[in-house]
Structures are given as C-alpha cells and as structure tokens.
C-alpha cells in the first residue's frame, strides 16, 4: 500500500487515481528504491555540454508514467470518436504518440513553473492536473469545460497551475511565454517558463525576435520544439533549410532529445531548468511523432506512408517503452498493466458521460470574459448595422 500511495503523489490526475492503481496494491516493492536507466539514445548538445544518459527513477515513477500516458492515449482516441460523431466541432488536434514529452517535462518541474503551448494542448492540460471531465466538456463546448466551453480544443487553460493555454496563431505563444519569463525574472521567484511549439512554427519570425530579446535579458525561458516531423501536411525537410531545430538559436544553447523517451525528456527538462535559472534561454528539440494527422481534417496518410506510422508505433512508442522497463525490473506483471489500461478506458468513458450532462453556454455569455466590464465597444450585428454602446 505504501507503493500505491507514493504513485498517487506523483501522478498528476487527482480525480480517481486510486481506481487506476488499485490492481497494483497486491504487488510488493520498495518505493524508496532508486533505479538507474540509460536513455535510448544520447543527447546532442549545441553550445552546451549535454546531460548524462543515466537517469535516476523509481518503481513508483515508472508506474506513474505508464498510467498517466495510458490515460492520455485513451482520452485522445476517445476525442477522435467524439469528433467523428460531431459532438466535437471546429478544430481538434490530437497528441497521441507525443505523450512522453508532457509527462517527462512534468516530472522535472513543479506547478510553480509555467507552460504555454500551441493548439495541440489536451494532454498538456491533463499533465498540469486538469481533470478529464474539464477536458471533454471543453472539447464539446460545455460550461463544465476548463474555458467554460468557449475555448474548445485549441484553448485549454489552467491558471492555478500556471498553464497559459493552447494558442491557435502559429508561433504566437512563444513571445507570450517569453513575457511570462520576464515576469518571473522580475519577481525573482526561481521559476521558469516552457514555451512549446512545433517544427512548423519553428520558422516563424516572431520566434526569433522573442528569442533575441530573451537572450539579451537572460530570461528564464526554455523554448521546446516538439518536432513531430510534419507540419500541416508538409514534411520538415520541405519547409526548413536547417531542420536541426536545437541549433536554430545560434547564439542560444540547444539540446536534441529523444521525445519518445519519457526519462530522457525528464533529464533534459531538469537540465534546461537549471540552465535557464542561471544563464537564460535554452532550446530543447524533442524528436517525437504524432500518430494522427495534423488535425481531424487531415487523414495523415497522404504525405507519409502507413508503414512509417506503424514502424514508429512498433519501435518507439513511449508507452511500450515504459511497459518494457516495468516488466524488465519486475515492478508489475503484464496483467497488472492491462488492468491499468482497462481502468483508464473506464475513467475516460465515465468522464465523457459526465461532460455530456453539462449544459451548453447561454447565448448571453457571448460577450463575457472578452471585454472589461463597462469598456466602450463597437458591435456589428448580423445585418452589418453598427451599434455603439457600452457593455452592461
């Protein structure tokens, strides 16, 4: 039971963690045990000495990684079905395949540190402690959602955990993240900001402008390029003359990381936080992969082969890597891990049922959380007639 308690403390999901981990209560192992695991591939540094490949972990942490990523994977698969059933409308960008990035990152930092990202944000919200009900309600535009049903898939937020959301304008979140880091430096609170973006956004001019001023001012910001190798239907080699994104800062140090290895991500993010607090910005390139298309309107198989996708699933899947480590160290049995996956499916199904019960926002909420109360605005109606006034 001590082992289960330790896992609960690590696992970010708080709603029903005990249910997922209950099958492990009959397994006995020391939660104080330290395991040393070598990362799958070496880190590659630019203008910095990379961290050690040997990562310290524990049975509790490995089980936490497995259960968390399993729940994230199941949630994204469910979101796919909800979209196809037209219960989710608009844009929807899924994260399955990339779970090791947000899970490894959370293991290296605290909720005092800030994260800001693009529109592929569901799992990062969950990693910050958001609930499944809040996630699915937001996806379906319901008032129980984390943005009260008005943000949808692209605009998840969790202010109390310093998660400043998903953003739809490509690359726009990076200068915002650097601004958050400016505030952190001003307050001297020893926290950092992780500003996340994709390989497609890596060519945006605003990214380089923000990095320049951050380097000048030694801001505690880490730019995290989640390189899943494809933008909106475009392979990285067709969009970037220099796809070595960890070197793109030139005068800013960088590190290339196997983004399919949660322990490698943990080690890199710990290294990056320590660097940023002392020396300013650093770029992390996470070599990862998305299983779905760019968004739900993209089948994801016209610009890459199905063999390529299945090959990554078989050889680099982040959940399967953790499963192998758990079994190799006799931390849990294969049956135990299957039970965790079954329970994750149940948690997701229950959360969807609860989210469906939440009402849609009232039309009167259209202008709430947009303007400061009493601020003068000009509103254009459907008939295009100008209406001037002050919001009540």
Contact 125, 135 (CB under 8 A): yes
**DSSP labels, 276-309:** HHHH--EEEEEE---SS-SSTT--S-SSS-HHHH
Per-residue pLDDT, 384: 46
Q: What pLDDT does residue 369 have?
A: 79
The more confident residue out of 334 and 376 is 334
Buried b (16+ CB within 10 A) or exposed e, 114-130: bbbbbbbbbbbbbbbbb
Q: In the predicted model, what is the mean pLDDT of residues 304-310?
A: 94
8 A C-beta contact, residue 153 and residue 88: yes
Please give the distance of CA 28 from its chain centroid, rounded to a whole number: 32
Q: Confidence band (pLDDT; 50, 70, 90) for 136?
A: very high
- Average pLDDT (2-17) is 40
Question: Strand ranges (DSSP E) for the chain?
Answer: 35-38, 44-46, 54-57, 114-117, 163-166, 193-198, 221-227, 254-258, 282-287, 376-380, 386-390
Q: Which pLDDT band, with edges at 50, 70 and 90, does 371 fall under? A: confident
Smallest CA-to-CA distance from 107 within 219, 273, 227 is with 273
Round to whole Å and give the CA distance between 390 and 26.
Answer: 63
Q: Is the pLDDT of residue 5 over 50?
A: no
Answer whether 238's CB lies under 8 Å from 198's CB. no
Q: Residue 12 has what pLDDT? A: 44
Residue 147 tokens read as 């943005």
* Bridge partner residues of 226 (DSSP): 198, 286
Q: Which residue, among 118, 110, 105, 102, has the nearest Cα to 161 in the 3D structure?
A: 110
Tokens for 45, please give them: 């540094």
What pLDDT shows up at residue 374? 64
Q: Which residue has the tokens 């770029």?
A: 283
Across the range 80-103, mean pLDDT stands at: 97
In this prediction the pTM is 0.89
Query: Nearest-CA neighbor of 264 among 34, 28, 117, 51?
Result: 51
Confidence tier at 31 by pLDDT (50, 70, 90): low
Residue 78: φ, ψ to 5°: -65, -40
Which one is predicted more confidently, 263 or 383? 263
Q: What is the mean pLDDT of residues 56-64?
A: 97
**Residue from 61, 74, 75, 43 nearest 7 by CA:** 61
**Percentage of the residues of the chain whose pLDDT score is greater than 90:** 82
Separation between Cα atoms, residue 184 and residue 281, nearest integer Å: 13
Higher local confidence (pLDDT), 65 or 373: 65
**pLDDT of 153-190, one tens digit each?**
999 999 999 999 999 999 999 999 999 999 999 999 99
Q: Which pLDDT does position 169 carry in this prediction? A: 96
Least confident of 29-43, 120-134, 215-229, 266-280: 29-43
**DSSP assignments along 168-228, one per residue:** SSTTTHHHHHHHHHHHHHHHT-S--EEEEEETTGGG-HHHHHHHHHHHHTT--EEEEEEE-
Q: Return the pLDDT at 383.
A: 47
Higher per-residue confidence, 365 vs 206: 206
Write the CB contacts of 258 (distance below 8 Å, at least 6 apart in sequence): 39, 40, 41, 264, 265, 287
Q: In whole angstroms, what is the distance from residue 332 CA to residue 323 CA?
A: 9
| Three-class secondary structure of residue 381 per DSSP | coil
CA 45 vs. chain centroid, Å, equals 23
pLDDT for res 377 = 52
Query: What pLDDT score does 253 carry?
Result: 98
Question: What confidence tens digit (pLDDT) does each residue in 320-342 have?
Answer: 999 999 999 999 999 999 999 99
Query: pLDDT at position 366, please?
Result: 83
**Does 86 have pLDDT greater than 50?**
yes
What pLDDT does 285 receive? 98
* Domains parsed from the chain with CATH numbers: 2-367 (3.40.50.970)
Classify the phi-psi angles of 35: left when phi > 0, otherwise alpha if psi is within -120 to 50, otherwise beta. beta
Give how far the C-alpha of residue 62 lies from the chain's centroid of Cα atoms, to the nearest Å: 18
pLDDT band for position 2 (cuts 50, 70, 90): very low
Reported as a single tens digit per residue, the pLDDT across 196-244 is 999 999 999 999 999 999 999 999 999 999 999 999 888 999 999 999 9
Cα–Cα dist 286/348, whole Å: 27
Could you tell me if 136 and 80 are in contact, meaning their C-beta atoms sit under 8 angstroms apart? no
The 10s digit of each residue's pLDDT in 293-303 is 999 999 888 89
């Amino acid at each position: 039971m001590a082992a289960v308690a330790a896992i609960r403390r690590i696992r970010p999901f708080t709603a029903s963690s005990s249910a997922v981990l209950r099958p492990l209560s009959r397994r006995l192992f020391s939660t104080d045990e330290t395991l040393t695991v070598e990362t799958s591939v070496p880190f590659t540094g630019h203008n910095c000495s990379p961290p050690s490949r040997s990562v310290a972990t524990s049975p509790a942490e490995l089980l936490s990684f497995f259960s968390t990523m399993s729940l994230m994977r199941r949630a994204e698969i469910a979101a796919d079905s909800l979209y196809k059933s037209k219960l989710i409308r608009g844009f929807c960008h899924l994260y399955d395949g990339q779970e090791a990035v947000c899970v490894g990152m959370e293991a290296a930092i605290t909720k005092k540190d800030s994260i800001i990202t693009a529109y592929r944000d569901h799992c990062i919200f969950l990693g910050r402690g958001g609930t499944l009900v809040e996630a699915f309600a937001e996806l379906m535009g319901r008032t129980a959602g984390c943005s009260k049903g008005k943000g949808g898939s692209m605009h998840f937020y969790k202010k109390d955990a310093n998660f400043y959301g998903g953003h739809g304008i490509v690359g726009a979140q990076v200068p915002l993240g650097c601004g958050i880091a400016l505030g952190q430096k001003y307050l001297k609170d020893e926290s950092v900001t992780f500003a996340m973006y994709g390989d497609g956004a890596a060519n945006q001019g605003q990214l380089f402008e923000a990095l320049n001023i951050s380097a000048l001012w030694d801001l505690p910001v880490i730019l995290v390029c989640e390189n899943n190798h494809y933008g909106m239907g475009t392979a990285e080699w067709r969009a970037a003359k220099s796809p070595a994104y960890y070197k793109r800062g030139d005068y800013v140090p960088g590190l290339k990381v196997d983004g399919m290895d949660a322990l490698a991500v943990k080690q890199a993010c710990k290294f990056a936080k320590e660097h940023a607090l002392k020396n300013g910005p650093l770029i992390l390139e996470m070599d990862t992969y998305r299983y779905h298309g760019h968004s739900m309107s993209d089948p994801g198989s016209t610009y890459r082969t199905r063999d390529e996708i299945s090959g990554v699933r078989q050889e680099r899947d982040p959940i399967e890597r953790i499963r192998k480590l758990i079994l190799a160290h006799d931390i849990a049995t294969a049956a135990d891990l299957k039970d965790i996956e079954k329970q994750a499916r149940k948690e997701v199904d229950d959360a969807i049922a609860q989210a469906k019960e939440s009402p849609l926002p009232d039309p009167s909420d259209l202008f709430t959380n947009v303007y400061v109360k009493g601020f003068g605005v000009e509103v254009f109606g459907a008939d295009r007639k100008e209406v001037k006034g002050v919001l009540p």
